[in-house]
């Protein structure tokens, strides 16, 4: 004989009922069968609502009854509904109205009447399903499971009288054919109707399976088995093929709703194989729960589950906590009030003791404990009980964890790297589970982080927020799109673009935008607002989040600190933050190191050239800088390399702007400010505490150029002053020199450096005489490179090289933790 249970979604509408019937028919050809059914999906919630409203004397409770009547009619009309089924249904519905009316009218509330209302869902569904199966030719009898199962409620706990239940179920043992039974319902020893708790139809089926010594127990639901994590929270979760009863118990105890926790024990006791399968995909393998000695290849960790709505109660008091008398009274208080303790932790100092309970019990617990320990609290022997709420428990489960070391190290390091604070930890002595308490807002992030670490060994997801989609940003998005598969294949990085913003619009997609359609997504997006953007990045709370700043915006750079502090990495080509005040630069570096959050800005100097990273490596490995001479402005180099007095200086500047070689405002390049900022960053990376004012500038622009109102006025002024540039050029070329805008840093002593930028005429003996186009060069003399300098040379400006430099930083940031 086998027992087959169908959950609420598996019978929720005509399509589901047809599916259910075909599964029942296929089992029935092979075995005598007991079919246990839940209420039609959502009906128990409606019944609870009817009860609550009737008790609150709200006449609106009848709306719920109308809805249930309509749902039931829907379940009958698609196959017609024979007269006797219809009559049985009519009686159940009329009894429902009577019960609800009595709650509405009576002043006394009655548990028995409330329970009778709640189990109406199963009474209806089992009646309809029995009639439907008969009509289809699957002959069956309907049995009332409340006649077999004896149980009562103690607080939130359901206590089954196993002996009475199993003995009553003997009668069903020898039955042939198909029996249909409602789940969820039971009777108290006094004969009143009661429930087995929400989700309790699984339990009914397991009790029946035990009572009739079934060969197998099938739980048909709306997912293909017990998943490695709740699939509503972790999209990558997948079904666990085989797990032991103990593992299933741990997972369900800590919240895996797919199986109501008390259902495991009855199956375990008789070693009945328990199969969790999908009604809507019955050929999918599903999960098999069986004895651990029958499982050959055991995984170390088989799943993660979680429970929300948790409160933590902490008892603190020197000399007191840990004493036997105290502990006994403490735990007694919970059991006296039927409060279920989910997790216990105690520091080895025994100064404090912490228990996790359902938040619904928190007030009762606090009240009861404060009363029980009133004297100790009043006399200062212990502190008042502390309650923290809005917490979740996450449990990592696996029978084989006990024979593997390093599981908790791996667990907590991945959480730490994602800034998930652990409020409390417990590990059962069976070592079958490691459970810990975190803030509820972090639960999704934690589940995904751990899931990725333990179940998606080959893959790391990074979540990018791209701000600025001009020439550089759009090229970057193009690279991210083209390289997405390559990153997955070669580096196991799944780089998703979750947010995109320009100054007008922003668009988010938690699952990652389809990058090739970013323009479209952005157009469809919401109005851009930087503070909303930052708040959204924080509230999405995705693991490995990184903001990519492709702007030259002061406002965006002003957000880095907040982002880093919240564990969100920053990759930027925007120089403003690193060339801002020394104290801000240092604070950003410190936060990045302290909080272990990536902060990369390689493209601040020399676009994609490996300048900052090289400097960092030299300094970190104990080298020290003697001098840096560099041509760092691709734009100025392009301009002075192109300009020969024949085409106007203004048109050369315009060409540089069009090629993306300049900052959006070319004055920042031509004033030398851009190069000054770069030299400042190099000096700081070399370990020198400089401010921008410490760098001298030899200006070359005609007077008034930097005071122009806007870019077009500036360009006009360049045109008017063409002769100024012509004479600069002629003077240099008369001496066979070329004009280069050079940045220099000279270390004069440990604490004293000289830094300057300016236009110089350089002759053919110079290393950078031949530097062409938008190239950059950096010549570095250090302790190690005293005679022959280290030279880094190459394309140092332009949207493509900058975008690929940012891409390089994103990869580095992905590997940061
Ligand atoms: P039924 O109505 O069939 O009893 P439930 O809604 O009680 O179904 O349980 C199935 C649901 O449990 C799934 O749809 C899924 O959302 C949720 N769930 C939570 N944790 C898990 C898990 N680890 N594996 C599978 N499903 C889970
Ligand atoms: N119908 C009940 C509930 O929704 C029992 C069950 O479906 O398992 O909780
Ligand atoms: Mg269920």
Atom of ligand 1 nearest to the CA of 199: 7
In this predicted structure, the answer to whether residue 156 has a pLDDT above a threshold of 80 is no
How confident is the model over 369-427, as pLDDT tens digits? 999 999 999 988 889 999 999 999 999 999 888 777 788 888 998 998 888 999 888 87
Whether ligand 1 lies within 6 angstroms of the CB of 278 is answered as no
* Average pLDDT value for residue range 20-48: 97
Q: What is the pLDDT of residue 348?
A: 60
Render 539-590 in DSSP notation, one character per residue. Answer: HH--TTEEEEE-S--HHHHTTHHHHHHTT-EEEE---TTTTS-HHHHHHHHH
Distances (CA, A) of 786 to 767, 779, 780, 781: 16, 11, 9, 5
Whether ligand 1 lies within 6 angstroms of the CB of 547 is answered as no
Whether ligand 1 lies within 6 angstroms of the CB of 132 is answered as no
Q: Pick 620 or 548 by higher pLDDT.
A: 548
Render 456-468 in DSSP notation, one character per residue. Answer: -TT-EEEEEEEE-
In this predicted structure, the answer to whether residue 344 has a pLDDT above a threshold of 70 is yes
Cβ contact 353:315 at 8 Å: yes
How confident is the model over 177-229, as pLDDT tens digits? 999 999 999 999 999 999 999 999 999 999 999 999 999 999 999 999 999 99
| Sheet of 625-631, strands arranged across | 695-698, 753-762, 738-747, 625-631, 775-782, 790-795
Average pLDDT of every residue of the chain:
93
Q: What's the CA gap between 351 and 316, in Å, rounded? A: 6
Closest to 115 (Cα-Cα) out of 187, 214, 219: 187
Note the ligand closest to the C-alpha atom of 11.
1
In this predicted structure, the answer to whether residue 349 has a pLDDT above a threshold of 70 is no
CA 728 centroid distance within chain? 59
**Confidence band of 76 (pLDDT split at 50, 70, 90):** very high
Residue 507, strand partner residues? 500
Percent of the chain with pLDDT over 90: 82
Residues 6+ apart with CB under 8 A from 814: 460, 462, 491, 493, 495, 544, 546
Residue 284 has φ and ψ, to the nearest 5°, of: -65, 145
Residue 57 CB burial class (10 angstroms; 0-12, 13-18, ≥19): exposed
Q: What is the pLDDT of residue 417?
A: 86
Q: What's the CA gap between 653 and 701, in Å, rounded? A: 13
Query: In a 3-state reduction of DSSP, which class is residue 630?
Result: strand
Q: What is the pLDDT of residue 347?
A: 66
Q: What is the pLDDT of residue 294?
A: 87
Q: What's the CA gap between 138 and 132, in Å, rounded? A: 9
Residue 218 has φ and ψ, to the nearest 5°, of: -105, 130
* DSSP structure class, residue 796: -
Cβ contact 350:321 at 8 Å: yes
**Confidence band of 428 (pLDDT split at 50, 70, 90):** low
Whether ligand 1 lies within 6 angstroms of the CB of 247 is answered as no
Q: What is the pLDDT of residue 795?
A: 87
Tokens 């760092």: give the residue.
632
The residue whose CB lies within 8 Å of the most ligand 2 atoms, and thus the one to mutate among 12, 20, 44, is 44
Catalytic machinery residues = 678
In this predicted structure, the answer to whether residue 322 has a pLDDT above a threshold of 70 is no
Q: What is the pLDDT of residue 323?
A: 75
How confident is the model over 755-792, as pLDDT tens digits? 999 999 999 998 888 888 888 999 999 999 999 999 99
**Confidence band of 625 (pLDDT split at 50, 70, 90):** very high
CA of 325 to the centre of ligand 1 (A): 42
* Angle between the N-to-C axes of helices 43-55 and 111-118, in degrees from 0 to 180, rounded to the nearest 10: 150
The counts of H helices and E strands in the chain are: 29, 31
Residue 27, strand partner residues? none
504: left (phi over 0), alpha (psi -120 to 50) or beta: alpha
Atom of ligand 2 nearest to the CA of 199: 8
In this predicted structure, the answer to whether residue 140 has a pLDDT above a threshold of 90 is yes
**Number of neighbouring beta carbons within 10 Å of residue 110:** 14
The DSSP H or E segment spanning 787 is none
CA of 38 to the centre of ligand 2 (A): 6
* DSSP structure class, residue 250: H
Q: What is the pLDDT of residue 318?
A: 73
CA of 120 to the centre of ligand 2 (A): 11
Residue 186, strand partner residues? 194
**Number of neighbouring beta carbons within 10 Å of residue 109:** 11
CA of 17 to the centre of ligand 3 (A): 17
Residues 6+ apart with CB under 8 A from 768: 631, 740, 742, 762, 777, 779
Residues 6+ apart with CB under 8 A from 514: 521
Cβ contact 325:308 at 8 Å: no
In this predicted structure, the answer to whether residue 350 has a pLDDT above a threshold of 70 is no
- Which residue's CA is the nearest one to ligand 2's atom 6? 199
Residue ranges in 270-406 assigned as alpha helix (H): 324-336, 362-372, 374-378
How confident is the model over 692-705, as pLDDT tens digits? 999 999 989 999 99
**In the chain, what is the straight-line distance between the N-terminal and C-terminal CA atoms, in Å?**
53
Cβ contact 742:630 at 8 Å: yes
Q: What's the CA gap between 581 and 693, in Å, rounded? A: 10
Q: What is the pLDDT of residue 330?
A: 92
Whether ligand 1 lies within 6 angstroms of the CB of 72 is answered as no
């Amino acid at each position: 004989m086998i027992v087959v249970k169908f959950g609420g979604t598996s019978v929720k509408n005509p399509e589901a009922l047809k599916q259910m019937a075909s599964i029942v028919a296929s089992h029935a050809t092979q075995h005598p069968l007991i079919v246990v059914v839940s209420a039609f999906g959502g009906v128990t919630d409606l019944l609870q609502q009817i009860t609550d409203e009737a008790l609150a004397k709200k006449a609106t409770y009848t709306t719920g009854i109308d809805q249930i009547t309509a749902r039931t009619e829907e379940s009958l009309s698609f196959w017609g509904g024979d007269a006797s089924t219809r009559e049985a249904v009519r009686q159940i519905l009329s009894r429902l109205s009577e019960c609800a009316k009595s709650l509405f009218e009576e002043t006394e509330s009655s548990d028995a009447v409330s329970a009778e209302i709640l189990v109406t869902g199963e009474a209806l569904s089992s009646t309809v399903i029995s009639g439907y199966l008969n009509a289809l030719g699957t002959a069956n009898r309907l049995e009332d499971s409340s006649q077999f199962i004896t149980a009562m409620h103690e607080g939130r706990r359901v206590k089954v009288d196993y002996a009475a239940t199993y003995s009553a179920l003997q009668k069903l043992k020898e039955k042939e054919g198909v029996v249909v039974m409602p789940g969820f319902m039971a009777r108290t020893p006094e004969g009143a109707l009661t429930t087995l708790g929400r989700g309790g139809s699984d339990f009914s089926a397991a009790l029946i399976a035990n009572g009739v010594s079934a060969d197998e127990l099938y739980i048909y639901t709306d997912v293909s088995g017990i998943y490695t994590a709740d699939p509503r929270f972790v999209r990558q979760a997948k079904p666990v093929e085989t797990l032991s009863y103990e593992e299933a118990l741990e997972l369900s105890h800590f919240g895996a709703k797919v199986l109501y926790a008390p259902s495991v024990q009855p199956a375990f006791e008789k070693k009945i194989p328990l199969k969790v399968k999908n009604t809507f995909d019955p050929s999918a393998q599903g999960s098999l729960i069986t004895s651990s000695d029958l499982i050959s290849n055991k995984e170390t960790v088989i799943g993660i589950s979680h429970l929300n709505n948790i409160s933590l109660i902490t008892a603190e008091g020197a000399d007191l906590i840990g004493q036997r008398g105290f502990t006994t009274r403490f735990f007694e208080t919970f059991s006296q009030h039927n409060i279920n303790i989910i997790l216990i932790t105690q520091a080895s100092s025994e100064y404090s003791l912490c228990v996790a309970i359902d938040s619904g019990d928190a007030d009762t617990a606090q009240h009861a404990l404060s009363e029980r320990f009133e004297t100790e609290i009043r006399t200062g022997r212990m502190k008042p009980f502390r309650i923290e709420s809005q917490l979740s428990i996450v449990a990592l489960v696996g029978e084989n964890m006990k024979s593997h070391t390093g599981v908790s190290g791996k667990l907590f390091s991945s959480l730490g790297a994602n800034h998930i604070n652990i409020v409390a930890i417990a590990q059962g002595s069976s070592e079958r589970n490691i459970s810990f308490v975190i803030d509820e807002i972090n639960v999704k992030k934690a589940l995904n982080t751990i899931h990725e670490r333990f179940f998606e060994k080959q893959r790391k997801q990074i979540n990018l927020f791209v701000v600025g989609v001009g020439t550089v940003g759009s090229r970057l998005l193009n690279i991210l799109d083209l390289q997405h598969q390559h990153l997955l294949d070669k580096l196991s990085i799944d780089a998703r673009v979750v947010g995109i913003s320009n100054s007008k619009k922003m668009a988010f997609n938690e699952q990652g935008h389809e990058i090739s359609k970013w323009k479209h997504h952005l157009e469809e997006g919401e109005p851009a607002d930087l503070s909303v953007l930052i708040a959204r990045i924080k509230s999405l709370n995705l693991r490995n989040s990184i903001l990519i700043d492709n702007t030259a915006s002061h406002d965006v750079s002003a957000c880095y600190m907040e982002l880093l502090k919240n564990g969100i990495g920053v990759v930027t080509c925007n120089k403003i933050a690193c060339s801002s005040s020394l104290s801000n630069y240092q604070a950003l570096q410190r936060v990045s190191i302290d909080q272990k959050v990536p902060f990369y800005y390689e493209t601040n100097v020399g676009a994609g050239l490996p300048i900052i990273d090289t400097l960092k490596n030299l300094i970190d490995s104990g080298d020290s800088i003697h001098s840096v001479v560099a041509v760092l402005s691709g734009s100025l180099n392009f301009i002075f390399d192109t300009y020969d007095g024949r085409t106007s200086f203004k048109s050369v500047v315009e060409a540089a702007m069009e090629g993306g070689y300049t900052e959006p405002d070319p004055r920042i390049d031509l004033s030398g400010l851009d190069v000054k900022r770069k030299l400042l960053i190099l000096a700081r990376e070399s370990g020198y505490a400089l401010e921008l004012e410490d760098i001298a500038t030899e200006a070359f622009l005609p007077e008034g150029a930097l005071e122009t109102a806007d870019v077009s006025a500036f360009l006009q002024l360049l045109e008017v002053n063409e002769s100024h540039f012509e004479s600069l050029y002629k003077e240099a070329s008369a001496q066979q020199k070329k004009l280069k805008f050079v940045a220099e840093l000279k270390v004069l002593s440990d604490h004293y450096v000289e830094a300057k930028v300016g236009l110089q005429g350089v002759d053919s003996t110079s290393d950078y005489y031949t530097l062409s186009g938008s190239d950059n060069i950096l010549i570095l003399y250090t302790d190690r490179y005293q005679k022959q300098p280290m030279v880094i040379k190459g394309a140092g400006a332009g949207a493509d090289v900058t975008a690929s430099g940012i891409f390089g930083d994103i990869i580095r940031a992905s590997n940061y933790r």
